[in-house]
Structure 1
Amino acid sequence: MDARLQTIARVVDISGVRTDVSRQEIDRIVAACREYHFVCAFAMPCFTPYLKQRLADLPDVKVGGVIGFPSGADSTAIKVLTAKEHLRTGCDEMDMVINVGALKSGMDQTVEDDIRAVVEAADGKPVKTILEVAYLTDDEIRRGAEIAVRAGASYVKTGTGWASKPATVHTIRLIKSAIGDSALIKAAGGVRSLDTMLEMMDAGCARFGIGLRSILSIMNEVDARLNIHRSFSLETAQTDCY
């Protein structure tokens, strides 16, 4: 039995960052956090204070905030302002989208300055830089990862989950080859099976951003392999929320 199955929830950022996520969906995410104790939970900025409030009695579940999401095209000033707002709200971690257009334009210093400004504004909170790899070549992925490390990012993250192409094991290996152990790696977008998670972990991935339905399906896979029986499901999460 793979020993990682016992603690798989502790590498998961459960995420409610789609356009149509409602407060009721946030309540279901909270219910899932109470059941599985994921390491962190993310919502869009309008619901981040509510998420923080609902998780206040779960000290082992962090709350994260998104910055420049999903395009990365906000000005640096707006990204810094968002980071400061997340600090005020009580966020424990921040996931920011890099300036993808600047990276593709070869404006590496602009990308680095943008990330560094957010890292400084985050005041010591971990910042995960989202490359949005679906729009990048392998060379751009390598450059983006190296820039993120130079700028002080704690993690290099594959994507927002909004792009049509999923994160892949190839991408994780590519990022790992570029940054080594200089920063951690987070995968997000299209991670929908336990075997995919385990393969990505083998390739060097340390954290996963996964939506409610997909992570409940994965946790069911975990329970089946560990011979654990529980009554929690998406349906019970709906009835338990308020």
Structure 2
Amino acid sequence: MRLTGSNIGKYLDLSALKTDTTHADIARMADLACQHRCACVFVFTAHIPFLLEYLGPRRQSLGLGGVVGFPTGSCSTGMKVKQTQELIELGVDEVDMVQNVSWLKSGNPAAVEADIRAVVAAAGGKPVKVILECHYLSDAEIAEACEIAIAAGVDYVKTGTGWAPTGATLDRVALMAETVAGRCKLKAAGGVRDRQTMEAMIDLGVTRFGIGVDTAVSILKSVEDDG
């Protein structure tokens, strides 16, 4: 897959999800996303009202996403449901939730599935992406997590939050693609730093990338410079 200025935007979910993110950072992200016709933008729940006000009429052409259980996935299912319901009430189009990694590694797949299924139900038909946080998982656990997420009715499985030491790698993406076998979509996030990596992952089946603003600027420039 060759990325160009006309097609790269549809693959990008831009995010402003750092602890010290300011409204100026969010405005910069929003402007970049609108300029390049990105798929979606993600901020923490507290910043959604500002983002909506800043976007104004531009909101109609840009997806809005929210995060649930971010970044550890270890809050209760009830809390995740309430977070999801609030996001839906605020008008988000997509929900990215973090699976309970501890429950998975403790050998309780039923609890992991119930946790995800509850968020899917609370999302009311809006797309839900489950963040596996692959850095903490073995290959066998990554495959198991994909199966659990599919059984719970998700739209995407996603490599990571971007907060763990590592995230998306070609090996992990290939494993996830092989496991899901087209039964859900793939999103890569955490460690995707250049266009070449994006292109290789698209060839493996990735349709969305979670990218921070600074990295997105660099990748977009490389596409523009290449003509």
Alignment TM-score > 0.5, same fold = yes
Alignment map for 1:103-118 (pairs within 5 Å): 103-118=104-119
1:129 corresponds to which letter in structure 2?
A: V
1:78-93 aligned at under 5 Å gives the runs 78-93=79-94
> TM-score, normalised on structure 2?
0.96
Give secondary structure in 1 for the equivalent of 2:148.
helix
CA distance in 2, matches of 1:185, 1:4: 20
8 Å contact from structure 1 (residues 51, 63) kept in 2 = no
Distance 2:150 2:14 in 1: 24
- After superposition, residues 61-72 of structure 1 pair within 5 angstroms as 61-72=62-73
What residue in structure 2 maps to residue 149 of structure 1? 150
Query: Would the aligned equivalents of 1:52 and 1:90 in 2 still touch at CA under 8 Å?
Result: no
Q: Is the 8 A contact 2:3 2:199 kept in 1?
A: no
> Deviating runs (4+, > 2 A) in structure 1?
1-6, 52-56
**2: CA distance between counterparts of 1:96 and 1:3?**
28
31-40 or 216-225, larger mean C-alpha shift? 31-40
Instruction: Give the unaligned 5+ runs of structure 2.
Output: none
* Unmatched segments (≥5 aa) in structure 1: 227-242
Name the count of aligned residue pairs.
226
SS in structure 2 at match of 1:125: coil
Residue 5 of structure 1, CA deviation: 5.2
Instruction: Give me the whole-angstrom Cα distance separating, in 2, the residues matched to 1:193 and 1:152.
Output: 31
Q: Give the counterpart letter for 1:197 in structure 2.
A: M
Q: CA RMSD in A?
A: 1.2
Q: Distance in 2 between matches of 1:160 and 1:223?
A: 27
Q: Residues 158-178 of structure 1, C-alpha deviation per residue, up to 9 Å, x if partnerless?
A: 000000113101111100111
TM-score by length of structure 1 reads: 0.91
Quote the offset at 1:3 in angstroms: 6.2
Equivalent in the alignment of 1:53: 53
CA distance in 2, matches of 1:199, 1:44: 30
Q: Which residue type is aligned with residue 162 of structure 1?
A: W
Shift of 1:52: 2.5
Shift of 1:20: 1.2
Match of 1:6 in 2: 6
Q: CA deviation at 1:54?
A: 2.3
2:38 maps to: 38
Matches within 5 A, 1:135-174: 135-174=136-175
Q: CA deviation at 1:225?
A: 1.4
- Cα distance, 1:35 vs. partner? 1.4
Q: CA deviation at 1:51?
A: 1.6
Deviation per CA, 1:23-64: give whole Å up to 9, x if none.
Answer: 110011111123112110000111122222323422221000
2:19 aligns to what SS in structure 1?
coil
CA distance in 1, matches of 2:31, 2:6: 20
Q: Secondary structure, in 3 states, of the residue corresponding to 2:187? A: strand
Percent identity (aligned): 43
